[in-house]
Chain A
């Protein structure tokens, strides 16, 4: 927890730009969005923006971020770009993936 606080403190003045790619209102997409929302409010302290991109509506947008898996969460900012796939139900993995929490050292 201590490390996480440091991390958020370090990038406190940055806005997190997150993009969630989905394909229609599937259960997995809905679950992913709900999980993301929960994690953001809990750890990002309001300094974030979530764009939900539905590839069924804008299929051409999937190319830029090399989206194959659905749902995929992309962290555009802060750099570097990070990708997390799945419905984000595993909060630990999402936190590690977004660099909110460092990888646990075995």
Chain B
């Protein structure tokens, strides 16, 4: 128990607010209740060794909270407890809480719990003179001492006001009782009926001043929500808001606003949207732990996008929780099957869990609490809420928004990637969500109808995607038997073309492209032909040139020979005519040789 408490204190110290404010030397010791969420609101539990008042009207869960405090104390924190019941007998109590899985008789047998039913019957009692409530003290003291109880619940001590007529004596005795409980060192829970204009009918809050918890039950639009508020907690920080709580088959769970700051851990890891082209548009997929909103009018394929995401998560071997508030799981699985997404197989493998509930069964807070619980139990890294707009059936826009803020905070703190779908009604502004959560969303995909030429086609836009480069292009969104496919839309002078217009345009473009291709090829061929002709000409010219040049060379050579011959002849002639040269010598071969 001590260790558990220390852990809580540590967690409390880790919280920024308390670290700066709480005095370092002495922390108020606390007794953890073990009730889901309550220990978080009270930063560790109820004040140890002091009385706490739980007040609320009949049927608000006071007794159950008391019993759970004792049972969890006995089972989880090793603190035996005494329940002094003024309204219900041991058998009634045991039966009432058996549905929550608590076996009171087992605890009684193990001497971890004593249930003492105190019966006060006004009609049997006559008052004749001075008295005190020492009998109650002795009885309670005996019970506490016999099992070494550390926790005591008095439920509802106000019942004795009806049994004893002298209110003055009772008030004095109650004051003494609470003082006495403190000296006994037990952590006590006293329940009290809600009074008019006061917390309790008999003003018990006057005596119990350390911690007061108020349980409330409100009905809005025929939806009832249980709420809890820590009115007072002397010497300790506590959440001051009203927190919704739920009583289900596992007891009480209180839902705190999960995060008071924006200190979620972020991830750079991407997870697939399940649609390849979309992943490419987003530069790799959604960020892990981000919140994605898919909004659009009816029939634009929001659920299909969600289905793709769920399937992609399962395919990656991760669990996925699919919270459906419009269709039954079977219907979703059938519909998804028609576009080639096999969700049933993943359900069988235990990777996909459906939770389908009509929104108007519970109030909003209940839904939130239930989703919390499911997430805590199933621990899925991926969650789908389809659609969030249905919650408007049970709350107004502001309430739904506040619920979603809390849910998104919770999901982010757990690093869960979540896809929400949101139905936009015809006539609403396209780029507005009904619930006004767009500012909380990391990635917002808008699916819309594009109407033209008498047909309706789907278009997908990435309106925003925080922290990632993403395509600004509209894509046409097709639902095929192999899943959702994204296609480029035709953008041209005539605007955005989709559907058959796009197909026609594409065909036109293809034809034009073929023509262009043919033209290019034709020109290429022409060019080739011209080049070949030119080459041939060049070759012919070169050939004739070569022939000519050979002839010329030959002529030249002949001329040269003839010239030489003439020169030789002239010399011979001169020799024959004994002509002399400028030296007076005979120009003869023989002379030249002789000299």
State whether the Cβ of A44 lies closer than 8 Å to any Cβ in chain B.
no
Chain A residues near B141 (CB-CB < 8 A): 59
Q: For the complex, what is the distance from the CA of A92 to the CA of B130, rounded to whole Å?
A: 15
Task: Report whether B135 and A84 are in contact in the complex, using a CB–CB cutoff of 8 Å.
Answer: no
Q: Which of A31, A66, A97 has the most CB of B within 10 A?
A: A66
B164 CB-CB contact with A under 8 Å: yes
In the complex, the answer to whether A96 meets B131 with C-beta atoms within 8 Å is: no
Give A69 to B130 CA distance when docked, in angstroms. 10
Counting chain A residues whose Cβ lies within 8 A of the other chain, the interface size class is: 20 to 34
- Give every chain B residue within 8 A of A67 (Cβ-Cβ): 135, 139
Contact of B131 among A56, A82, A85, A97 (CB under 8 A): A85
| Interface residue? B347 (CB, 8 A) | no
Q: Which of B129, B142, B160 contacts A87 (CB 8 A)?
A: B129
Contacts of B133 in A (CB 8 A): 68-70
Interface of A is mostly: mixed
In residues 80-132 of chain B, which contact A (Cβ within 8 Å)?
116, 118-121, 124-132
Best-buried of A59, A63, A72, A82 by chain B (most CB within 10 Å): A59
Chain B residue with the shortest CB-CB distance to A91: B128
Task: Report chain A residues within 8 Å CB of B130.
Answer: 28, 86-87, 89
Minimum distance in angstroms from B527 CB to a CB of chain A: 116
CB distance B135 to A28 under 8 Å? no
CB distance from A84 to the nearest CB of B (A): 5
B138 touches A62 (CB 8 A): yes
Residue in contact with A82 in the complex, picked from B119, B126, B160, CB distance below 8 Å: B126
Residue A60 is within 8 A (CB to CB) of chain B in the complex: yes
* Residue B136 CB within 8 A of the other chain: yes
Residues of A near B428 (CB, < 8 A) are none
Q: Which residue of A lies closest to B170 (CB)?
A: A69
Question: Contact: A86 with B129, CB < 8 Å?
Answer: yes
Assuming the contacts A56-B138, A59-B141, asked whether A97 and B126 have C-beta atoms less than 8 A apart, the reply is yes
CB distance from A24 to the nearest CB of B (A): 8
What's the count of A-B pairs with C-beta under 8 Å? 97
A33 sits at the interface (CB 8 A): no
Which residues of A from 7 to 64 have beta carbons under 8 Å from B? 21, 23, 28, 31-32, 35, 55-56, 59-60, 62-63
List chain B residues, Cβ under 8 A from A28. 129-132
Q: Give the chain B neighbours of A90 by CB distance below 8 A.
A: 128-129
Residue from A60, A68, A94 within 8 A of B135 (CB atoms): A68
Judging by beta carbons under 8 Å apart, are A68 and B128 in contact? Answer: no
> Does A81 lie at the interface of the complex (its beta carbon under 8 Å from any beta carbon of B)?
yes
Contacts of A69 in B (CB 8 A): 131-136, 164
Contacts of B129-161 to chain A: CB distance below 8 A: 129-136, 138-139, 141-142, 160
What is the bound-complex CA distance between A28 and B512, given in angstroms? 115
> When the two chains form their complex, are residues B132 and A84 in contact, meaning their CB atoms are under 8 A apart?
no
A68-B120, A69-B164, A70-B133 as given contacts; A85 in contact with B127, CB under 8 Å:
yes
Q: Which of A60, A62, A63, A93 contacts B128 (CB 8 A)?
A: A93
The answer to whether B116 touches A63, judged by C-beta atoms less than 8 angstroms apart, is: yes
Q: Which residues of the other chain, A, contact B118 by a CB distance below 8 angstroms?
A: 66, 68
- Nearest CB in chain A: distance from B401 CB, A: 52
Encode contact with A along B42-60: 1 for CB under 8 Å, 0 otherwise.
0000000000000000000
- Identity of the chain A residue whose Cβ is nearest the Cβ of B124 in the assembled complex: A83
Q: Contacts A68-B160, A82-B124 given; indicate if A55 touches B135 (C-beta within 8 A).
A: yes
A55-B135, A69-B134 known; 8 other A-B pairs, CB under 8 Å? A62-B135, A67-B135, A69-B164, A72-B131, A81-B124, A82-B124, A86-B128, A88-B128
Question: Which B residues fall within an 8 A CB radius of A?
Answer: 116, 118-121, 124-136, 138-139, 141-142, 160, 163-164
**Which A residues have a C-beta under 8 Å from some C-beta of B?**
21, 23, 28, 31-32, 35, 55-56, 59-60, 62-63, 66-72, 81-91, 93-94, 96-97
Query: What are 14 A-B contacts with C-beta separation under 8 Å?
Result: A55-B134, A63-B139, A69-B134, A70-B132, A71-B131, A81-B124, A82-B124, A83-B125, A85-B164, A86-B127, A87-B129, A88-B128, A90-B129, A97-B128
